Amino acid sequence: MIITQEKKIFFLQIIFVTSIILANVVGIKIINIGPVNASMGIWLVPLTFLITDILSEIKGRKFVSELIWFTAIALLFSYIFIQLSIWVAPAERFAETNPAYVTIFKSSARMFIASMIAFLIAQLHDVRAFEFWKAKTKGRFLWLRNNLSTMVSQFIDTTIFMFLAFYKMTPQFDAGFIWQLIIPYYLLKIILALIDTPFVYLGIKWLRKSQ
């Protein structure tokens, strides 16, 4: 079976949309990665930037920007349906389980809005920055373009989300405390971003192969 470039691109689009939705669903769980308390969704965030950089190299900014906007719509739809599922009264046999279901899936509107805004701004910046550095380097130094665009975009994503989601949530969450949360979280994202650099080359090579 011949796997065309179009099919490979479609596969990456599916993984991108799924990763964004999953990051918001599983992100409520906090895990320890060394000394850093991180959301389970942190493992998926570098994958999304990896995919947009691969697709930007092959298809360009306009194609990837459209993917980002469609993903935002899918994320909004998912949130609305999850909230609807919480609101609908459970069947009698599910009544005892329903409180646990609500606890797991309920997230505040503030958290969702923070996530949506951070996602859109950071991802759209990433594709623009990738295109900018591609023009500046005349299409060379893929590793540099990948890391420069991703590192800045990850900082934007982390900073916007943390401030919009948690600032003044309680008196403890002042600006200083938010920055204490941002810095180790961002550094962890940078490490993960550096690790994915070889996979950008592999992904682009895979897409350019005829099968």
- Whole-number pLDDT of residue 25: 85
Amino acid 84: pLDDT:
92
Domain boundaries in the chain? 5-208
> What distances in angstroms separate CA 206 from CA 22, 34, 202, one per listed residue?
25, 33, 6
Q: State which residues of the chain have pLDDT below 70.
A: 1, 210-211
Quick one: pLDDT at residue 211? 57
Residue 35 burial by Cβ neighbours in a 10 Å radius (0-12, 13-18, 19+): exposed
CATH of domain 5-208: 1.10.1760
Give residue-wise pLDDT tens across range 154-190.
999 999 999 998 898 888 989 999 999 999 989 998 8
pTM for this one? 0.90
pLDDT of residue 210: 65
Sequence-separated (6 or more) residues with CB below 8 Å from residue 37? 30, 31
